Structures are given as structure tokens and as C-alpha cells.
Amino acid sequence: MATWIKIVALAVASWMVTGCAGFELGKAERMTANGSTFDKGLYDGYMTLSKNEFSEGDYKDSDFFARSAMAASDGTASGPQEITARNLPAGRVDDLTGARTRLVAALDSQAAQDLPDQAANAQVMFDCWMQEQEENIQPKDIAACRGAFDAALNELDARNLALAEAEKAKMAKAAPAAAPVMAKKEMRFVVYFDTDKADIGEAASAVLAEAEAAAKKLGASSVLVLGNTDTVGKGDYNMTLSNRRADAVAKQLITQGIAGAAIKLEARGMSDLAVPTGPQVNEPKNRRVEIVVKP
């Protein structure tokens, strides 16, 4: 009798794990995405994430991704997850905030309509990055989600830039001939940061306002945002810090009205020093983001 009771108890426990936790995955699997190509891409992507998390025993996140897939299947999917929805490590909030700002701008653009598969993958991989970054225990998974997100977003940005160039060429062709003018030259601006910081202060805001005005005046085809650090600290950390600084500047430029598709980010860490120094030297002029506005 005791053995029979143990068997029943184990069966009930097994049912509770597979029947309750992760139950959303089963419901999602019975649905079909019949909407747009974008909705279908979201459904497929979120289903993959839900199954992966279920196989790892993370039933809470499996349920979250399954619900996202179900919303996509009936055409009611929301945008990328809000930053405040996850308990993120403090040092990663700026990275993800800047990335989400760029993603939202890309999803609202013509490129998202032209490249629905890439748009869906960018959103799914951003939510994947958010989830893995909250756990913060699997660096390879974090890097994989972020890498896939960056690749998809870069395709959308490239498409938006191509559309902008085509529209500019169309307008130039339709415009009446004008007298030759001197070629416009690129303009450079520099924003400086405090040690180990990526905050946009009052002085930096003034410089960014000048960069915005120059971009609009030149009809900028691209705005390069190049993040840098001094030589204090380790290389990997400084690469991340330079990326945070570049993201902060890009986010502010987008807020001021610069098209996200025109902005290109590059994190240089301590590989491109404005003032050459040895290791572990606190040099203010190296803690910077360079903004290159190209006509």
C-alpha cells in the first residue's frame, strides 16, 4: 500500500510540474499564426524561446514567451518588453535602454514593413536578451541573444538608410538645376564623461544640441557615434563602458530628432586614445564619445 501511495504521489507531482507550470506552452502550440509575416515571425520566435526555457526548467519565462507567441498568433502582439518589466543588473540598464530606443524607431519605420522577418527577429531577440540579462548566469546565452538582436537591427537600419538615400536621389533628380556650391564637409563633436560614467550632463547636452543642428543643416546621411575610454580598468569592461557611452549619446540624439537609421554606433574601448598614455592612466580627454556628422 505504501508503495502504491508513493507512485500516486509521484504521478500527481509530475502532473503539477507539466500540467500547471509551463501550461501556457501547450496552449500556444495548439494555435496557428494566421496574421502578417511579421506576426508569424514573432510567433515562431517566441515559441522557440518558450520551448528552450521549458527544457531548462524555467517555467515562468516559458509561460511569458508562450503568451507572447499567442498574442502574435491573433494579431495582438505588443512591442518589445519594457525595461522596467525585468529586474536587470544596474550596469546593463543603459545598454538595454539605448537598444530598445533604436529598436522601437526601427519597428516604426518603412524597413520593418519591407523586412518583416528581420523586424520580428529583432524584437524576439531583444526580449531574449532582456530575459537572459535578468538571470545574468549564462554569458554565452546573453551574448547570443544580443548578437542576433544586433544583426537583425543592423539589417533594418541599413534598409532605412538605403530608403533615405533613394528618396534623397529622387528629390535631387526632380529639383531644378542649381548653381554649383562648395561641397559640405563632415563635422565632428566630442562629448566627455566622468570616470566610469555614461551619463549625459549639462555640458554634454549642449554639445549634442550643436551636433543635432549640424546634422539637420548638412542633411546628414550618417551620424557616427564612437565610444571611448581611458586606460584605467580591464579591456573587456572598458569595451562595455564605451558601448554604454555611445548608446547614451545615440539615445539622446534620437530624442532630439535624429533618425535612428542614420546613427551608427561603434565601441572602441581604449584602443583609440586621444591622448596616448600608458596603462591605468586616468586621462579625461580619453573618456569621450566622438560624433561624426557626414553630409
Complete DSSP assignment for 198-226: ----HHHHHHHHHHHHHHHHHT-SEEEEE
In one-letter notation, the amino acid at residue 66 is: A
**Does residue 143 share a domain with residue 218?**
no
Which pLDDT band holds residue 11 (cuts at 50, 70, 90)?
A: very low
Q: Are 270 and 230 in contact (CB under 8 A)?
A: yes
pLDDT tens-digit series, residues 85-105: 999 999 999 999 989 999 998
**pLDDT of 177-214, one tens digit each?**
665 655 678 889 999 999 999 999 899 999 999 999 88
Place of cell 579591456: 235
In DSSP terms, which residues pair with 288 in a beta bridge? 192
User: How many residues are there in the chain?
Assistant: 295
Confidence of residue 220 (pLDDT cuts 50, 70, 90): confident
φ, ψ dihedrals at 188, nearest 5°: -120, 145
Grid cell listed for 185: 564637409
Could you give the CA distance from residue 217 to residue 205 in angstroms, rounded to a whole number? 18
What average pLDDT does this structure show over 33-56?
93
Q: Does the pLDDT of residue 249 top 70, yes or no?
A: yes
> For residue 173, is it within any domain?
no
Residue range of the domain that includes 203: 184-294
Handedness of CA 32, 37, 43, 47 (dihedral sign): positive
Task: Tell whether pTM > 0.85.
Answer: no
Q: According to DSSP H, which parts of the chain are helical?
A: 2-19, 23-29, 37-55, 59-73, 93-107, 110-114, 116-135, 139-174, 202-218, 235-255
> Is residue 34 predicted with pLDDT exceeding 70?
yes
191-223: b (≥16 Cβ within 10 Å) or e: bbbeeeebebeeebeebbeebbebbeebebebb
Per-residue pLDDT at 60 exceeds 70: yes
Looking up residue 275, the CATH number of its domain turns out to be 3.30.1330.60
The one-letter code for the residue type at 67 is: R
- Mean per-residue pLDDT over the chain, rounded: 87
Residues 207 and 153 in one domain: no
Residue 124 lies in a domain: yes
Residue 123 CA to residue 103 CA, distance in Å, equals 7
Residues 127 and 220 in one domain: no
Residues 202 and 138 in one domain: no
The reply to whether 264 falls in a domain is: yes
Q: Check pLDDT > 70 for residue 12.
A: no
Residue 5 lies in a domain: no
